[in-house]
Amino acid sequence: MLEVQDVSVRLGEHLALRDVSLHLDAGDTAALLGPSGCGKTTLLRVIAGLQPSSTGSVRLDGRDLVGVPPHQRRIGMMFQDFALFPHRNVKGNVEFGLRMRGDSAEARGARVAEVLELVGLRGFEDRSVSELSGGEQQRVALARSLAPAPRLLMLDEPLGSLDRTLRDQLVLDLRELFASQRLTVVYVTHDQAEALALADQVTVMDRGRVVQSDPPPVLWSRPATPFVARFLGFTNLVAVGVTAGVVRAGFGVLVDGVDWPDGPATTLIRPGAVRLNETSTLVAHVRSVAFAGDHTNVELTMADGTLLEATVPGPPPPIGGTIGIEITPGGIQLFADDVPAPE
Amino acid sequence: MPRRWLLASVPVAFFAVLFVYPVTSIIGRGLYSDDGWHLEAVTDVASNPALRRVAWFTLWQAVLSTALTLCVGLPAAYCFARLAFRGKRVLWAALVVPFVLPTVVVASAVLGVVGPRGLLGVELQGTVWAILIAHVLFNYAVVVRTVGAFWANLDPTLEEAARVTGASAWRAFVEVTWPLLRPAVLAAASIVFLFTFTSFGVVLLLGGPGYNTLEVEIYTQTARLLNLDVAAVLALLQFAAVLCMLLIYSRYAHRRGTPLRLRAADESAHRPRGLAQRSLLVANLAFMTLLLGVPLGMLVARSLGGTGGFWAHYLDLGSSRRGSVLFVSPLEAVRNSLVFASAATLVALVIGGLASLAIAGTGASRRGGRWLDVALMVPLGTSAVTVGFGFLIALDSGPLDLRDSIVLIPLAHALVATPFVIRAMVPALRSIDPSLREAASVLGASPGRSWMAVDLPIVSRGLAAATGFAFAVSLGEFGATVFLARPDWPTLPIAIYRFLGQPGPSNFGQAMALSTILMMLTVVAVLAIDRWRVGSAGEF
């Protein structure tokens, strides 16, 4: 459905995108995830036709979009600050795309009512956009991009300026809407929880490059690089050395019997893979303890000062105490150190 | 008493004493004497076909000049607002140069190109084309700078949102950009119309006997024919026309006060993309060079050379010779102009700033603000001859005996500069999202503090433009100053005018040298003011 092939964008001296490819099936939601400045908004603008690419191609439904102006691409886009037209009321904003393609007044009125109903703003037609709350403005912007029934809907940090509770609610609403309307969606965010909750496929970007593109469960269980792991919220990334299958960190041996070439590496230790074990030779100091319902989050200081996070089922260890821990062999993931980071 | 009326009282008093009183005095002197009103002049004027022709010409040349200036100015405003290119800052400042030059100098610069022995070899003196060219040259900066500054702060994603939602580039402009831009365009157009409607020096020099505006006719009737009654009727007629135009303008300008989310100008400009944008930029830069560069280049060229060497005309400026056209050394005129311009700018910023706050203030009593807005625009549309003469006639007794005081000059300049300050500041003040101010006051800022923290940074770009314009207007003011300047305190334009009125290549060369100095001073002043903003917040 959407096929982005080796797109690069040069802005002056700066390469905003390098050889970015993206594939999206009809009805799926793709999330573009990454820190600000990683190029995700630029990619959106390239797809929308607002930003020419230096090289590469964008195809939608098999049709090459090079040279097609933005208004003929039939793509809906929701902007970061919503970009509602301040001189038009809610109806004037929502019907804009319908008016541009020449729909009759009755057809427009019916469609506007329908879309407003869909986003939960029935009867808001005559309100001025400046008197709406942030959440309502977000919904009007969504309704405006949905009204002309675009082939592809793109949202740029649509929840960025809203508060946490509202965001959690809207994420659920959006997922339901995407599914019920069978929308094909590209969703840009820097919030990994949003991306994982909404998308069929998450594409992580860093400094203009795609680092990993996978369905959320794969992304979560096998992050491709330490950067992805860190961006997903993992903090236990430890420098290790591997010798004959034995993985050794500064504070002791983590696991043995791994299939990995000898040499320095980086390892991700999943918090759930840290087990309490009285008899273990790995000694940890309990720095803090936070009860989290089904489990307890424990912060540990290891012998060489390394900090580890652990999620522990059952009764929590006492703060300030010293305990022994072990690592489940399946709970670590090794990354080669010689993979050059994108400069 | 509401605070806004307190704010408004100072500008109102200023306006009453320095405008209403002098102007009514001179009109009264023309139409009234001890034995009652003399209204025969009204029927005389109405039945005189020559005067009717003058009125008709005044109107249509102003409409045409305004339309032409908008046609060439709006594309340039777009280039400055949306495109990034080398030398933009310097060009932005240089634009204002022709606008502040004395009309006499601009007129002769235009003659250097299309005059009898002009560069182009086509003789346009005495035709309406010479007048139109000079008017466009004169007012180009008003459109480009007023509209350009506003456009630069307009959020470009609004247009992009329209594009993605199915609007072609043209429709996105018509449906979104134009409605949001319209107040700034109307403001610019109204100023250009006022200037060209009351045009004096340009028409006097370029129009020849065939073309007279009301302003030229008023001058002729007052100073040459001493027909004070006919002059008074014509002044009233011009005044009424200007008032009508202002009322129409303010009706439209106030209809929409859309709060906009403004963007820092640097953020909204990008390098030109594609053939269309590149050729638009090149075409505009070429036009600017042609329109501004050629006539002003001729000016500089004529200031150099001469029998005494390359710099002879400049070296002559330092001396005050017996029998010279000035009582003092011409260089003192430079100092006088700087002193007057500083004082006038200060007064205009205070008066215009207070008035802008009162006009832009929210609340039920919008009507009051509108009247104040219109009232303070009126001096722009009133004949400078009337104002200058009015000052001399009216301000001559009691506490207002200022006839011989040099204070009159900066006050007259401030009167003309105040509308620029208001035009620059009111749109900026209006577009401030009230929630920002509320946010500041909720955070514990007193009204004064929240004004400093919120309004001042946002309006500072408008303020910088206002300061630049006020200073420039004062440096170049000619029509009223010619009545008020004392022989021992000439300003630059007066000195240039005196030199131009004398025969001989040396006097002409010195006039051109002084014009060049005035031009340079203006560029330096505007550049400095453009750079000086309220800290980094100037970029909001």
Q: Give the CATH number, domain containing residue B238.
A: 1.10.3720.10
Would you say residue B531 lies in a domain?
yes
Residue range B59-115, pLDDT digits in tens = 999 999 999 999 999 999 999 988 988 888 888 877 877 876 777 778 778 876 776
pLDDT (0 to 100) of residue B66 = 96
Q: Could you tell me the two tokens for B393?
A: 């006639």
| Mean local confidence (pLDDT), A238-249 | 90
Mean pLDDT, all residues of chain A: 89
Residue range A263-278, pLDDT digits in tens = 899 999 998 888 888 8
Residue range A65-104, pLDDT digits in tens = 888 889 999 999 998 888 899 889 999 999 999 999 899 9
Which residue of A lies nearest to B181 if distances are taken between CA atoms?
A87
pLDDT (0 to 100) of residue B264 = 59
Residue pair B514/B495 in contact (Cβ under 8 Å)? The answer is yes
Residue range B494-506, pLDDT digits in tens = 888 788 767 777 7
Residue pair B405/B339 in contact (Cβ under 8 Å)? The answer is no
Residue range B128-154, pLDDT digits in tens = 888 999 999 989 988 998 898 888 888
User: ipTM, 2 decimals?
Assistant: 0.82
Q: How confident is residue B323, by pLDDT bands cut at 50, 70 and 90?
A: low
pLDDT (0 to 100) of residue B267 = 63
Residue pair B47/B170 in contact (Cβ under 8 Å)? The answer is no
DSSP A329: G
Report CB contact under 8 Å: A83, B160.
Answer: yes
| Claim to verify: residue B9 and residue B55 sit in the same structural domain | no
Task: Tell me which chain A residues have a C-beta less than 8 angstroms from the C-beta of B169.
Answer: 69
pLDDT reading at A339 higher than 80: no
Would you say residue B463 lies in a domain?
yes
Q: How confident is residue B1, by pLDDT bands cut at 50, 70 and 90?
A: very low
Would you say residue B274 lies in a domain?
no
Angle, helix B505-531 to helix B294-303, in steps of 10 degrees: 130
Report CB contact under 8 Å: B157, A83.
Answer: yes
Q: B34 — phi, psi (to 5°)?
A: -60, -30
HEC string of B149-185 equals: HHHHCECHHHHHHHHHCCCCHHHHHHHHHHHHHHHHH
pLDDT reading at B400 higher than 70: no
Which residue of B lies nearest to A77 if distances are taken between CA atoms?
B164
Mean pLDDT, all residues of chain B: 80
Task: Tell me which chain B residues have a C-beta less than 8 angstroms from the C-beta of A131.
Answer: none
Q: Could you tell me the two tokens for B447?
A: 């009204």
Give the closest of A50, A84, A86 to B160, CB-based. Answer: A50
pLDDT (0 to 100) of residue B364 = 38
Residue range A21-43, pLDDT digits in tens = 999 999 999 999 998 888 898 99
Task: Tell me which chain A residues have a C-beta less than 8 angstroms from the C-beta of B177.
Answer: none
The DSSP H or E segment spanning A311 is: strand A307-312
CA-based nearest distance B258→chain A, Å: 6
Residue owning tokens 């104040």: B372
DSSP B254: T
Report CB contact under 8 Å: A85, B161.
Answer: yes
| Claim to verify: residue B428 and residue B523 sit in the same structural domain | yes
Residue pair B487/B327 in contact (Cβ under 8 Å)? The answer is yes
Domain total for chain B? 2
Q: Which long-range contacts (CB under 8 A, 24 or more apart) does A301-306 make?
A: A302/A249, A302/A250, A302/A251, A302/A252, A303/A250, A303/A251, A303/A252, A304/A249, A304/A250, A304/A251, A306/A238, A306/A249, A306/A250, A306/A251
Can you tell me the distance from the alpha carbon of B26 to that of B231, in angstroms, rounded to the nearest whole number? 10
Q: How many residues are present in chain A?
A: 343
Torsion B270-B271-B277-B282 (CA) sign: positive
| Claim to verify: residue B436 and residue B353 sit in the same structural domain | yes
Give the closest of A12, A86, A145 to B165, CB-based. Answer: A145
Instruction: Name the more confident of B299 and B136.
Output: B136
- What is the set of domains in chain A, with CATH numbers? 2-227 (3.40.50.300), 237-336 (2.40.50.140)
CA dihedral angle for residue A195, residue A197, residue A201, residue A205, rounded to 10 degrees: 20
| Claim to verify: residue B216 and residue B343 sit in the same structural domain | no
Give the closest of A48, A86, A130 to B164, CB-based. Answer: A48
Q: Which of A50-59, A327-336, B89-98 has the lowest mean pLDDT?
A: B89-98
| Claim to verify: residue B461 and residue B484 sit in the same structural domain | yes
Please report, for residues A19, A72, A179, A260, the alpha-carbon distance to residue A226 in angstroms, rounded to integers and kept in the order given.
21, 41, 32, 17
Which residue of B lies nearest to A96 if distances are taken between CA atoms?
B165
> How many CB atoms are closer than 10 A to CB B401?
10
Burial of A227 (0-12, 13-18, 19+ CB in 10 A): buried
Would you say residue B259 lies in a domain?
no
Residue % of chain A over a pLDDT of 70:
98
> How many CB atoms are closer than 10 A to CB B83?
18
pTM of the model: 0.75
Mapped onto helix, strand or coil, the DSSP state of residue A56 is strand
Residues 6+ apart with CB under 8 A from B63: B193
Task: Tell me which chain A residues have a C-beta less than 8 angstroms from the C-beta of B162.
Answer: 85, 96
pLDDT (0 to 100) of residue B62 = 94
Q: Could you tell me the two tokens for A236?
A: 């236990």
| Mean local confidence (pLDDT), A156-168 | 82
Task: Tell me which chain A residues have a C-beta less than 8 angstroms from the C-beta of B175.
Answer: 96
pLDDT (0 to 100) of residue A142 = 92
Task: Tell me which chain B residues have a C-beta less than 8 angstroms from the C-beta of A96.
Answer: 162, 165-167, 175
Would you say residue B339 lies in a domain?
yes
pLDDT (0 to 100) of residue A343 = 42
| Claim to verify: residue B290 and residue B387 sit in the same structural domain | no
CA-based nearest distance B219→chain A, Å: 46
Give the closest of A12, A69, A100 to B165, CB-based. Answer: A100
User: B199: domain range?
Assistant: 49-252+279-297
Task: Tell me which chain B residues have a C-beta less than 8 angstroms from the C-beta of A49.
Answer: 163-164
Q: Which long-range contacts (CB under 8 A, 24 or more apart) does A36-40 make?
A: A36/A190, A37/A207, A38/A205, A38/A206, A38/A207, A38/A208, A39/A9, A39/A205, A39/A207, A39/A208, A39/A209, A40/A188, A40/A205
pLDDT reading at A342 higher than 50: no
Instruction: Name the more confident of B308 and B9.
Output: B9
Would you say residue B269 lies in a domain?
no
Would you say residue B246 lies in a domain?
yes
Which residue of B lies nearest to A69 if distances are taken between CA atoms?
B168
| Claim to verify: residue B33 and residue B81 sit in the same structural domain | no
Strand A296-302, strand B36-37: pairing: unpaired
Amino acid, single-letter form, for residue A302: M
Can you tell me the distance from the alpha carbon of A128 to that of A343, in angstroms, rounded to the nearest whole number? 47
Highest mean pLDDT among A313-322, A330-339, B447-456, B521-530: A313-322
Instruction: Name the more confident of B31 and A87.
Output: A87
Size of interface A-B (CB pairs under 8 A): 80
Would you say residue B478 lies in a domain?
yes
pLDDT (0 to 100) of residue B463 = 80
Mapped onto helix, strand or coil, the DSSP state of residue B299 is helix
Residue pair B484/B391 in contact (Cβ under 8 Å)? The answer is yes
| Claim to verify: residue B316 and residue B211 sit in the same structural domain | no
From B238, B263, B297, give the residue that closes a domain: B297
Residue pair A204/A210 in contact (Cβ under 8 Å)? The answer is yes
pLDDT (0 to 100) of residue B79 = 92
Residue range B240-291, pLDDT digits in tens = 888 888 787 777 665 545 556 666 556 667 788 778 889 999 999 999 888 8
Task: Tell me which chain A residues have a C-beta less than 8 angstroms from the C-beta of B258.
Answer: 86-87, 130
| Mean local confidence (pLDDT), A193-217 | 92
| Claim to verify: residue B516 and residue B388 sit in the same structural domain | yes
CA-based nearest distance A194→chain B, Å: 24
How remote is the C-alpha of A34 from its chain's centroid?
7
Residue % of chain B over a pLDDT of 70:
85
pLDDT reading at B403 higher than 70: no
| Mean local confidence (pLDDT), B460-475 | 81
Report CB contact under 8 Å: B168, A69.
Answer: yes
